[in-house]
Structure 1
Amino acid sequence: MAVELKPLPPVDAIAAFEARKGDLVETFSWQEFWQEEHATSLTVAKSAGFDILKDISAAFEKALKEGRTPAEFARTLRPALEAKGWWGRKFVEDPLTGEVRPAQLGSARRLQTIFDTNMRVSYAAGHWANFERNRKARPFLRYVCILDERTRPAHRARHNLVLPIDHPYWDAWAPPCGWNCRCTLQSLSQRDIDRLLAEGEDLRFEPPEDTFRNFVNSRTGEVVRVPDGIDPGWAYNPGRAGYEARVNKAIAEKIADAPPELVAAAVEERVSSSAFERFVQRPEGSMPVMPIPPALAASLGVDARVALLSAETMTKQLARHPEMTIADYRLLPGFPAKATLAVVDGPLSVVLIRLAGGRWLHAVIKATKSRSAAFLTSYRFTSEERVRKLLDRDGVRIVVDRRKE
Structure 2
Amino acid sequence: MAVVLEPLPPRDAIAAFGARHADLRESFSYLDIWQEEHATMFTVAKSAGFDILKDIYDGFERALKEGLTPRDFARQLRPVLGQKGWWGKKLIEDPLTGDVAPAQLGSTRRLQTIFDANMRVSYAAGHWASFERNKRSRPFLRYVALLDDRTRPAHRARHNLVLPVDHPYWDMWAPPCGWNCRCTLQSLSQRDIDRLRAEGEDLRFEAPEDTFRSFVNRRTGEITRVPDGIYPGWAYNPGKAGYEARVNQALSEKIADAPPEFVAAAVQERLSSGAFERFLRNPQGSMPVMPIPAEISDAVGGNVHIALLSAETMAKQLRNHPELTAEDYRAIPSIGAAPTLVFQDKQRIFVLVKLGEGRWRYVAMKVKGTAKAGFVTSFRYANDADIAKLLGREGVRLILDRREK
Could you say which residue in structure 2 is the equivalent of 1:61? 61
Seen in structure 2, the aligned counterparts of structure 1 residues 151 and 271 have a Cα distance that, compared at 3 Å, is same
1:122 aligns with 2:122: yes
- Tell me the distance in 2 between the aligned counterparts of 1:336 and 1:97: 43
Could you say which residue in structure 2 is the equivalent of 1:306? 308
Secondary structure of the structure 1 residue equivalent to 2:59:
helix
Query: Deviations for 1:109-140, whole angstroms, at most 9, x for unmatched residues?
Result: 11011100110000000000110110000000
TM-aligned CA deviation for residue 219 of structure 1:
2.3
1:28 aligns with 2:35: no
Provide the alpha-carbon RMSD of the alignment. 4.0
1:274 aligns with 2:256: no
Secondary structure of the structure 2 residue equivalent to 1:26:
coil
Once the two structures are superposed, the pairs formed by residues 23-102 of structure 1 within 5 Å of their partners are 23-102=23-102
Give the residue type in structure 2 aligned to 1:14.
I
TM-aligned CA deviation for residue 6 of structure 1:
5.4
Do the aligned residues in 1 keep the contact of 2:283 with 2:315 (CA within 8 Å)?
no
Give the residue type in structure 2 aligned to 1:265.
A
Q: Which moved more, 1:50-59 or 1:262-271?
A: 262-271
- Tell me the distance in 2 between the aligned counterparts of 1:351 and 1:133: 39
In the superposition, the TM-score normalised over structure 2's length comes to 0.79
Do the aligned residues in 2 keep the contact of 1:174 with 1:238 (CA within 8 Å)?
yes
Give the residue type in structure 2 aligned to 1:26.
E
Secondary structure of the structure 2 residue equivalent to 1:215:
strand
Give the residue type in structure 2 aligned to 1:151.
T
Could you say which residue in structure 1 is the equivalent of 2:9? 9
Query: Deviations for 1:283-303, whole angstroms, at most 9, x for unmatched residues?
Result: 6856604359799xx9xxxxx
Secondary structure of the structure 2 residue equivalent to 1:44:
coil
Q: How many residues align?
A: 381
Seen in structure 2, the aligned counterparts of structure 1 residues 248 and 68 have a Cα distance that, compared at 3 Å, is same
- Tell me the distance in 2 between the aligned counterparts of 1:206 and 1:312: 34
Could you say which residue in structure 1 is the equivalent of 2:264? 265
Seen in structure 2, the aligned counterparts of structure 1 residues 363 and 315 have a Cα distance that, compared at 3 Å, is closer
Secondary structure of the structure 1 residue equivalent to 2:13:
helix
TM-aligned CA deviation for residue 280 of structure 1:
7.2
- Tell me the distance in 1 between the aligned counterparts of 2:208 and 2:374: 37
Give the residue type in structure 2 aligned to 1:147.
L
Seen in structure 2, the aligned counterparts of structure 1 residues 339 and 175 have a Cα distance that, compared at 3 Å, is farther
Do the aligned residues in 2 keep the contact of 1:283 with 1:315 (CA within 8 Å)?
no
Could you say which residue in structure 1 is the equivalent of 2:151? 151
- Tell me the distance in 1 between the aligned counterparts of 2:265 and 2:64: 33
Do the aligned residues in 1 keep the contact of 2:121 with 2:238 (CA within 8 Å)?
yes
Seen in structure 2, the aligned counterparts of structure 1 residues 399 and 9 have a Cα distance that, compared at 3 Å, is farther
Secondary structure of the structure 2 residue equivalent to 1:27:
coil
Do the aligned residues in 1 keep the contact of 2:252 with 2:286 (CA within 8 Å)?
no
- Tell me the distance in 1 between the aligned counterparts of 2:279 and 2:375: 16
- Tell me the distance in 2 between the aligned counterparts of 1:336 and 1:389: 20
TM-aligned CA deviation for residue 165 of structure 1:
0.4
- Tell me the distance in 1 between the aligned counterparts of 2:355 and 2:181: 48
Give the residue type in structure 2 aligned to 1:324.
T
Query: Deviations for 1:163-185, whole angstroms, at most 9, x for unmatched residues?
Result: 00000101111111111111110
Do the aligned residues in 1 keep the contact of 2:360 with 2:383 (CA within 8 Å)?
yes
TM-aligned CA deviation for residue 20 of structure 1:
0.7
Seen in structure 2, the aligned counterparts of structure 1 residues 7 and 183 have a Cα distance that, compared at 3 Å, is same
1:194 aligns with 2:191: no
- Which sections of structure 1, spanning at least 5 residues, go unmatched? 299-303, 367-372
- Tell me the distance in 2 between the aligned counterparts of 1:212 and 1:315: 27
Give the residue type in structure 2 aligned to 1:240.
K
Could you say which residue in structure 1 is the equivalent of 2:226? 226
Give the residue type in structure 1 aligned to 2:190.
Q
Could you say which residue in structure 2 is the equivalent of 1:370? none
